[in-house]
Structure 1
Amino acid sequence: MDPAGEPGSARRPLHIAMVAPPWYHVPPRGYGGIESMTADLVRGLLARGHRVTVIGAGEGADLRTYDEPPSGRIGEPFPEVVHAAKATRFLRRLAPDVVHDHSLAGPLSACGRSTPTVVTCHCEVAGELGDFYRALGAAVSLVAISWSQRAAAPDLNWVARVHNAVDVGTFPFLGSKEEWVLWLGRFNPDKGAHLAVEAARAAGRSIVLAGRLTEECEREYFRERVEPLLGPGVEFVGEADAALKRELLSRARCLLFPVQWEEPFGMTMIEAMACGTPVVALNRGAVPEVVLDGVTGHVRDEAGQLPRAIEEAGALDPAAVRAHTLRSFDVSVMACAYENVYHRVLRAASRKSRHRLPMAR
């Protein structure tokens, strides 16, 4: 059983400072998986009676580090650093019960305050990012978004595993799907858009590509690997905003997720499943934790197995896909789990405070 799901003692309303990354509005207008998850979590916590102050950039933030998110500067260090410095100043004034940080540089300030800091690790924790969290030690309480992610660095100061979630009720359900397939995400080689096109063509299906082209590496990959594949049966619609994303996800025969790295979660999978749309994915990272093989989609080991899985996806029941998503990946489930995390770290901080030796007179 996931520790975040353990029942706790009587709950009291908390004041939670929610620190979002600086790159997009909360929720985002288009791409922005972390910001979308953060906004859903805030709504879920408010529904459970907690007070939440959002520190972020642009719309949706109660305290703004940037009036307009510096989305065009993704990959540069200074927006993160400026964001972290301003957030730290806001936190001194707020004095919340707990800080929940989703940013990269923000956790650096955790060592300088007594308020417990919970950090959700949204990225791969191997390499330098793992070293970063390792150096912070007990100053932050880390939450993994999948068992796969946690297993990659088991020595970090993990306190729980909480799967990401969506507000399932905001996604339209269609019980009858169309014949084309969908790929949705960032045009990064790790997302495998070119493999999705090849699988769709091998299955005799047309495909719609909807994705972000912001960073130079994304534009380069698109020019070299994806653009030559465009033509009959392959349509590129650009980056999808919240409305277009929901329309595409609800209508598609299936979502293709030919991920090429150990992705720690993958929000588009549960967004598709919330619409009753099955997911056809490669077995990497958290995919087998998210997709219930044979019920909410098909998980395959090799790209050559995807065309047949696309055909088999048509036999899956969209109502069962959505029902499983509501039980396992709705925002109400995630908010309850994080509430348990907050109370656990507060109890641990209280015990630590009581056990400190008094200063010598």
Structure 2
Amino acid sequence: MTATAPLDITMITTPWFALPPGAYGGIEAMCAELVDGLVELGHRVTVIGVGHNGTKGDFIATDDSPAGAQRLGNSGPEVLHAARAARALRSLDSDVIHDHSTVGPLQAGQRQAPTVVTAHGPVTGETGRYYEALSDTVHMVAISHAQQEQTPDIVWSGQVHNALRTAQYPYRDRKGDDVLFLGRIAADKGVHLGIDAARDAGLPLTIAGGCNDPAEQPYIDEELQPRMGDDVRWVGEADRRTKLDLLANARCLLFPIQWEEPFGMVMIEAMACGTPVVALRRGSVPEIVEDGVTGFICDHPAQLVQAIGSVARLDPQACRERVQSHFHTDQMAVAYATLYEQLCRGPTR
């Protein structure tokens, strides 16, 4: 239980996937963990979302069917979700509202309770300007120090790492030979670099991920297809059971990102399974991976090959302990609850 009285927290999620998501859905996975963690702390949580409720909180559905990955980027589901969420809020006595949708925070100025917004993705370009414009009416939270430092013009109210429950991830200390890439198939994820590195290291590569953005098709055609061979297995988008099996069995997870990744949930998922991470030094990577202990951080793609060849000397248990001590749901829930309580006591600016 918390030291203060329980709060009435409303969690507005996205219109894309249910909580928790069956496969893809990083924001929804984080929301599900946070809801359960807050309930376990003794708070009352109402989720406004889509589809079914797989959390410990109460639930109000704005739509029986999630929009799904095929409609990502379509404004229709967002606008409808925001309108129905606003109607649902009128029937709730919320102490604080945590809004993970895109359109919903625009209504924060008309809400009686403070609104918290977590920046789940990039904070540059149009998105960054949107968050900057919002940040005088909402309380912005970064998911990494790297993200927070990237856009100092945003008024940040806090920083909280994403998290998971290690007990829900299978641990294996004996690994297979496959190197694993798991994530969105896109140029900024560096999949082509992963193929080159695994091949140069003389090891097979498994690619698990889908592409829902037609704009990435030229990248697939020009960079990935010519690199495919008998040593590369592309299994497509994996469901949760397949994903966990791949993560637990992999020699290492390759994370050769080509952009300032704000967090990278797959890194802590891999480490929770006892699987080290080989990554390029971009974005949040240095905050998550302990270089030489839970993986290797490389400054150049050419260094990935040697790193892959060195992961066998790392201790799988150290990887899991890193997640347990730094990225566990309990810690995330306490950090957000502390922020909510501060906001309910009065302005923080």
Matched residue, 1:104 = 102
Matched position secondary structure for 1:237: strand
- 1:73 paired residue among 71, 74, 91: 71
Residue 177 of structure 2 corresponds to residue 184 of structure 1: no
Matched position secondary structure for 1:138: coil
Q: Aligned-pair distance for 1:258?
A: 0.3
Q: Find the aligned partners of 1:199 and 1:319 in 2 and give their Cα distance.
A: 25
Can you give the 5+ residue segments of structure 2 that lack an aligned partner in the other structure?
none
Q: Find the aligned partners of 1:49 and 1:345 in 2 and give their Cα distance.
A: 18
Give CA-to-partner distance per residue, 1:322-354, whole Å, 9 cap, x none: 0111000011111111111111111124x99xx
Q: Find the aligned partners of 1:131 and 1:214 in 2 and give their Cα distance.
A: 25
Q: Aligned-pair distance for 1:228?
A: 2.6
Matched-pair contact (CA < 8 Å) for 2:253–2:275: yes
Matched-pair contact (CA < 8 Å) for 1:185–1:211: yes
Residue 43 of structure 2 corresponds to residue 60 of structure 1: no
Q: Aligned-pair distance for 1:114?
A: 1.7
Matched-pair contact (CA < 8 Å) for 1:188–1:217: no
- The answer to which of 126-135 and 277-286 deviates more is 126-135
Q: Aligned-pair distance for 1:151?
A: 0.7
Q: Find the aligned partners of 1:319 and 1:18 in 2 and give their Cα distance.
A: 34
TM-score, structure 2 normalization = 0.95
Q: Aligned-pair distance for 1:78?
A: 1.8
Q: Find the aligned partners of 2:259 and 2:145 in 1 and give their Cα distance.
A: 15
Structure 1 counterpart of 2:92, which letter? L
Matched position secondary structure for 2:313: coil
Matched-pair contact (CA < 8 Å) for 2:135–2:156: no
- The answer to which of 210-219 and 94-103 deviates more is 210-219
Matched residue, 2:17 = 24
Q: Aligned-pair distance for 1:313?
A: 1.1
Q: Find the aligned partners of 1:143 and 1:108 in 2 and give their Cα distance.
A: 16
Structure 2 counterpart of 1:300, which letter? C
- The answer to which of 150-159 and 259-268 deviates more is 150-159
- 1:92 paired residue among 90, 93, 96: 90
TM-score, structure 1 normalization = 0.92
Matched residue, 2:37 = 44
Change (3 A) 1:266 1:88: same
Matched residue, 2:211 = 213
Q: Find the aligned partners of 1:226 and 1:15 in 2 and give their Cα distance.
A: 49
Q: Aligned-pair distance for 1:118?
A: 0.6
Matched residue, 2:312 = 314
Matched position secondary structure for 1:320: helix
Q: Find the aligned partners of 1:198 and 1:119 in 2 and give their Cα distance.
A: 38
Matched residue, 2:282 = 284
Structure 2 counterpart of 1:69, which letter? P
Matched residue, 2:223 = 225
Q: Find the aligned partners of 2:210 and 2:88 in 1 and give their Cα distance.
A: 31
Matched-pair contact (CA < 8 Å) for 2:247–2:253: yes
Give CA-to-partner distance per residue, 1:274-331, whole Å, 9 cap, x none: 1010000000001101111111110011111001000111110000110111000011
Residue 349 of structure 2 corresponds to residue 347 of structure 1: no
Q: Find the aligned partners of 1:220 and 1:54 in 2 and give their Cα distance.
A: 39
Q: Aligned-pair distance for 1:37?
A: 0.8
Matched residue, 1:10 = 3
